Amino acid sequence: MADKIRIGVIFGGRSGEHEVSLLSARSVLSVLDPAAYEITQIGITNEGIWLTGPSALEAFEKKQYDSLSPAILLPEPQNAMLYRIRKSPAGDILEPLTHLDVVFPVLHGTFGEDGTVQGLLELADVAYVGGGVLASSVGMDKVVFKEVIRANNLPVVASLVFTRRQIETSMLDVVAQIEASLPYPVFVKPVNSGSSVGISKCAGHSDLVEGLMDAAQYDRRIMVEAAVKNAREIEVSLLGNEHPKASVLGEVLPSDEFYTYNAKYIDNKSELVIPARVEPELARRIQKTAEKAFSLIDCAGMARVDFLLERGTDTFYVSEINTIPGFTEISMYAKLWDASGLPYAGLVKQLIDLALERKSDRDHTKYRREA
Ligand SMILES: Nc1ncnc2c1ncn2[C@@H]1O[C@H](COP(=O)(O)OP(=O)(O)O)[C@@H](O)[C@H]1O
Ligand SMILES: [Mg+2]
């Protein structure tokens, strides 16, 4: 029998989406075939500590970390191993635990989906699922992502960006600038956000002041965006490397006035419509736009591109890209593939294959001129 592929599944993390990540990882682990993969579970605590153990996910779910060992991945290609850190009277000892052929970072949001973990994996020269450093960081940054999309003549909603310092020191000036160029209502968002944390829809002056102050807690840069009136929320899953394929479209029917944290995770009343009821010609245009957005940021493996579609018209806008979208079996990303004929277990396997393919592509790159 061929050697098993050694896969590290990383979950948890320091972001507000720690718990969502545990749910995603539970689904991924449930379909990884133990006959094909040697699986190492690696959890990252809210404080950023890496812990490993055969039942690390279960321990994280119970928030009982005592049975787990601290672990570390060194940023050195020669030592692309996961090490266990053992305490000894003489100091910490690194014990080689396992090589990793591929890592699946099942992490959402900051310090996981934003290129930081991807940077470590690049330095360690390990294959990993999903976009690289550039795609991850651009995908996470709502302003830079929009600039890339806009520069390529794809539709995005008008927006402005301010720093936290501007908001703290010149609130009236900031509000005046917004009111001079965008009609109410507007959306205020931390630039690097997810799960709608720190996002508000502001209908007037006092709302706006409150929204800006709230968002400024979550990021150093704040984006203010014109609201698309009567917006339908359309999402497309992408899979592939250089030639990404788009899934069928899905639509979110949020249970709140917009798709808030509460509507996403708490009240359980939002609905997903799959496939979305969109005319085939328009659906095709949206899929093509999603594929372009994916390639423009040099994304790899997977992503979900979200759109705002003006109800009753053909006018749509690229809203955002999620390079590690919610990844449970019942998340939009996976459901769209299931409806497109690719069930969850096959999806996970394809992502691992794509990660290995991308790594072997990168292995052909020379990093310096040969003498
Ligand atoms: N310009 C907009 N017009 C209408 N609704 C919007 C707009 N921007 C955001 N929203 C609403 O806010 C939600 C969260 O915004 P989004 O940019 O997707 O942030 P997150 O990364 O937190 O998901 C969207 O799903 C949508 O319901
Ligand atoms: Mg969103």
The C-alpha atoms of residue 366 and residue 54 are separated, in whole angstroms, by: 37
Strands (E), 124-165: 127-128, 159-163
Q: Tell me the CATH number for domain 5-128.
A: 3.40.50.20
- pLDDT value at 103 more than 80: yes
Please indicate whether residue 319, judged by its CB atom, sits closer than 6 Å to ligand 1.
yes
Q: Which one of the ligands is nearest to 258 CA?
A: 1
Fold of 159-226: Dna Ligase; domain 1 (3.30.1490)
Indicate which residue's Cα is closest to atom 13 of ligand 1: 259
User: What burial class does residue 202 get, using C-beta atoms within 10 Å of its C-beta: 0-12 exposed, 13-18 middle, 19+ buried?
Assistant: buried
- pLDDT value at 224 more than 70: yes
- pLDDT value at 193 more than 90: no
Strand partners, 10: 42, 105
| AA letter at 189 | K
> Which residue ranges does the chain devote to CATH 3.40.50.20?
5-128
Please indicate whether residue 52, judged by its CB atom, sits closer than 6 Å to ligand 1.
no
- pLDDT value at 371 more than 90: no
- pLDDT value at 1 more than 60: no
User: What burial class does residue 13 get, using C-beta atoms within 10 Å of its C-beta: 0-12 exposed, 13-18 middle, 19+ buried?
Assistant: buried
List pLDDT tens digits, range 57-74. 999 999 999 999 999 999
Q: How confident is the model at residue 265 (pLDDT cuts 50, 70, 90)?
A: confident
Distance (angstroms) between ligand 1 centre and the Cα of 259 equals 7
Distance (angstroms) between ligand 2 centre and the Cα of 269 equals 17
Mean pLDDT across the stretch 354-363?
96
Indicate which residue's Cα is closest to atom 1 of ligand 1: 227
Q: How confident is the model at residue 14 (pLDDT cuts 50, 70, 90)?
A: very high
Distance (angstroms) between ligand 1 centre and the Cα of 82 equals 38
Residues in the chain: 371
Please indicate whether residue 191, judged by its CB atom, sits closer than 6 Å to ligand 1.
no
Indicate which residue's Cα is closest to atom 16 of ligand 1: 196
Q: Which one of the ligands is nearest to 109 CA?
A: 1
Q: For ligand 1, pick from 114, 143, 187 the residue to mutate: most ligand atoms within 8 Å of CB.
A: 187
Cα 88 to chain centroid distance, Å, stands at: 38
- Nearest-atom number in ligand 1 for the CA of 317 is 1
CATH of 139-153+230-361, one of 3.90.79.10, 1.10.1060.10, 3.60.10.10, 3.30.470.20: 3.30.470.20
Mean pLDDT across the stretch 39-50?
98
> Which residue ranges does the chain devote to CATH 3.30.470.20?
139-153+230-361
252-271: b (≥16 Cβ within 10 Å) or e: bebbbeebbeebbbeeeebe
Indicate which residue's Cα is closest to atom 2 of ligand 1: 227
List pLDDT tens digits, range 115-140. 999 999 999 999 999 999 999 999 99
Please indicate whether residue 14, judged by its CB atom, sits closer than 6 Å to ligand 1.
no
Q: How confident is the model at residue 79 (pLDDT cuts 50, 70, 90)?
A: confident
Contacts for 80-84 with beta carbons within 8 Å, 24 or more apart? 80/124, 80/125, 80/126, 82/8, 82/40, 82/42, 82/52, 84/52
What is the rounded average pLDDT for all residues in the chain? 96
Indicate which residue's Cα is closest to atom 9 of ligand 1: 187
Q: How confident is the model at residue 369 (pLDDT cuts 50, 70, 90)?
A: confident
List pLDDT tens digits, range 287-332. 999 999 999 999 999 999 999 999 999 999 999 999 999 999 999 9
Distance (angstroms) between ligand 1 centre and the Cα of 143 equals 13
- Nearest-atom number in ligand 1 for the CA of 306 is 18
Please indicate whether residue 196, judged by its CB atom, sits closer than 6 Å to ligand 1.
yes
> Which residue ranges does the chain devote to CATH 3.30.1490.20?
159-226
Please indicate whether residue 159, judged by its CB atom, sits closer than 6 Å to ligand 1.
no
Distance (angstroms) between ligand 1 centre and the Cα of 93 equals 47
Indicate which residue's Cα is closest to atom 8 of ligand 1: 187
- Nearest-atom number in ligand 1 for the CA of 263 is 27
